[in-house]
Amino acid sequence: MTEPDDAVWIAAAGGTRVEGSLATAVTYQERIEQPTLPGTEPLTVVHSAPPETPVEAPVETLSAPPTTALPTTVPPTTVPPTTVPPAVEPVAPPATQARRPIDNSVAGSASPALRAMRGRDPEPQPITSHGPATVLAMCNQKGGVGKTTSTINLGAALAGYGRRVLLVDLDPQGALSAGLGIAAHELDHTIYNLMLEPSTQLTDVLVPTGIEGVELIPANIDLSAGEVQLINEVGREHTLSRALRPLLHAYDYILIDCQPSLGLLTINALTCAQGVIIPLAAEWFSLRGVHLLVDTIEKVQARINPDLSVAGVLVTMYDGRTVHSREVVGMLDQRFGDTVYDTIITRTVKFPETTVAGEPITSYAPSHPAAQAYRALAREVIAR
């Protein structure tokens, strides 16, 4: 603030001259005698009011004498025009710049038209005979990624194209059996008996599912004891393979629903399978343990089953409205390339409903987009 402004401010505030102040501006005075203490001078209170006419207000400056009087009329204060700085374009952080752009139309490529354009969605040819079966293990050590749901619905979709399918429940929780409406805890013979009791016949464990062309070997909590018993078995990794070998000629596909771990039961499934389907939910936690699963698959391939390979990576629980889901699909595409299935299973409330109903979504809601997606996945599995 300039000196003329100080003088005007003091005059407007009705101030009096104080020793050491910058200016004195008095317009009129009204002296009011106040009671005084003995030996003191009377106190004079000065009131100020805005003058009717400008009054000369001498100003003392802080600079060296002599002092100069400022003009009575205060020049108008000019405010410099406000300059707006030019807009600066924000610079994205390096991590954002390096992120691979995701094309949502490609990430959610469950469209049959898009796969047909790529020549990767052929219509399955009818077959006149069955067998030998292609054994596929649905495997992921993380739970809640859609292994059981995909096993049920993929099996039903394959049967819809004239293939005979056997579903094998290799999880002691028996989720696959429960998802098909079968009370496995009430059964006397399950996959546990077939693997560890030589006297058990195949006819004792095969259970109809109510889906034409699909049969089931169920499991219940007894299988949890089977993993402990297998430790002392000779050639324990081949136990499931020996049990299923007589059934290979009767089916086109055998789908094994593995438990969410990389224990001995899962090793048995990988030993007798030709391919592994890895269901992965479109979220970050599903990606964290994939390298452990791939490492286990490579060890089984190198030491036990040279015919084993990753048949495909299946993206489940996809939500195209979120950037996170699209980023996960992009990372999977970078890591696995063409191994990732074109079909992507989106998140829907219909899947819990089918579990309660005890049937696949292909029969529960045949026209639902999720049912169409599993039919498209069946076509991909047959084509590969």
Give the pLDDT confidence of 130-169 residue by residue, as tens digits: 889 999 999 998 888 999 999 999 999 999 999 999 999 9
Tell me the backbone φ, ψ of residue 229, rounded to 5 degrees: -70, -30
d(CA 343, CA 374): 8
Reported confidence tier of residue 286, pLDDT bands at 50, 70, 90: confident
pLDDT at 50 over 90: no
d(CA 212, CA 42): 116
- C-alpha dist (Å) from residue 140 to 22, 194, 267, 328, 357: 83, 24, 12, 17, 25
At 316, the amino acid letter reads T
d(CA 98, CA 108): 22
Provide the Cα torsion 157, 161, 164, 165; round to 10°.
-20
The DSSP letter of residue 65 is S
158 touches 124 (CB < 8 A): no
Is this structure's pTM higher than 0.85? no
Burial tier of 42 (Cβ tally within 10 Å: 0-12, 13-18, 19+): exposed
138 touches 275 (CB < 8 A): no
Reported confidence tier of residue 39, pLDDT bands at 50, 70, 90: low
